[in-house]
Amino acid sequence: MSKTKKALTALLLVAALLLPMLGLRALEPVRATAAREGVELPILMYHQLTKDARLVNEFTVTVDQFAKDLDALAARGYTAVRMEQVLAYVEQGKPLPEKPVIISFDDGLETFSVYAAPLLKAKGWVGVFAVIGSETDKFSAVDDHHLKYSSCTWAQLKELSDAGTGEIVSHTWDLHKNKNGRKGAAKIAGESEAAYRSVLAQDDESQRAAFAHAGLPAPTVYVYPYGEYSAASPKILQELGYRAAFICDARMNTLRPGDTDALMALKRYIRKPNCPLPI
């Protein structure tokens, strides 16, 4: 072996040893770029709105407060988007507005239709409206419009959906309760995965049937009641046709094209009354 060949072999050997380390190093700037290219998506969570300041509580803010929130978001450069746009960004790389925000409302209450939707419409914005199907059904069967507690009817949901002011998503058909040891749609300790799967599937079958009957698009987003879920939940929901799920965790989401797993546990900031906007 000539001196040159020996030197070359030694060089290759060193290179072979160093390359994995160098390779990792070389990837870091790429990762940093990907992180920069990711989109921060804050999600706000509201429940009830009221015009009576005496009724304000942990889950109720005034209509005036909500209107001010929308103005503040607009002033900060945010644009409220639909979850369909978020899915298109993550699944297909379609661009989102520069500062997207999701304005979500849980529990399907009628005040969304009466108070929130007109304010959202004035900005050309949309709210993601999570409905409990069995409650919607109850209020669709009676003529009870007490805004302190009433839920939207299926007809109201269809109007919101058609008008583009409400993107209607699932808050389960009838799992919004703590019953027999089950918290919302979470798995009970010791329950088999098959049994758990069948509970979620049966509940969802009723929800999907009702959505179809009301002429609403099939739900693609699942909002866990009380934010409770289990390790087995995301996969089961994906099998049922869901492409995203909301939890309750007051943190920012960073989304990147291709990272569909992140969609199955989207964090949200609960909007508490009488305190500054969390974003």
* CB of 50 or CB of 151, closer to Zn ion: 151
* CB of 34 or CB of 59, closer to Zn ion: 59
* CB of 60 or CB of 78, closer to Zn ion: 60
Tell me which stretch binds Zn ion (CB under 5 A): 31-39, 107-115, 184-192, 266-274: 107-115
CB of 225 to Zn ion, least distance (A): 5
CB of 245 to Zn ion, least distance (A): 13
Q: Residue count at the site for Zn ion (CB under 5 A)?
A: 2
* CB of 34 or CB of 199, closer to Zn ion: 199
Strands 253-255 and 39-41: antiparallel
* CB of 107 or CB of 204, closer to Zn ion: 107
* CB of 119 or CB of 223, closer to Zn ion: 223
106 binds Zn ion (CB under 5 A): yes
Tell me which stretch binds Zn ion (CB under 5 A): 98-106, 151-159, 199-207, 267-275: 98-106
- Which residues within the stretch 236-275 sit at the binding site for Zn ion (CB under 5 A)? none
Residue nearest to Zn ion (CB): 106
CB of 123 to Zn ion, least distance (A): 25
CB of 108 to Zn ion, least distance (A): 9
What string of H, E and C letters represents the secondary structure of the chain?
CCHHHHHHHHHHHHHHHHHHHHHHHHHHHHHHHHHHHCEEECEEEECEEECCHHHCECCEEEHHHHHHHHHHHHHCCCEECCHHHHHHHHHHCCCCCCCEEEEEEECCEHHHHHHHHHHHHHCCCCEEEEECHHHHHHHHHCCCCCCCCCECCHHHHHHHHHHCCEEEEECCCCCCCEECCEECCCCCCCCCHHHHHHHHHHHHHHHHHHHHHCCCCCCCEEECHHHCCCCCHHHHHHHHCCCEEECCCCCCEEECCCCHHHHHHECCEECCCCCCCCC
Q: Binding residue for Zn ion (CB under 5 A) from 107, 110, 137, 167?
A: 107
- Which residues within the stretch 38-67 sit at the binding site for Zn ion (CB under 5 A)? none
The footprint of Zn ion (CB under 5 A) covers 106-107
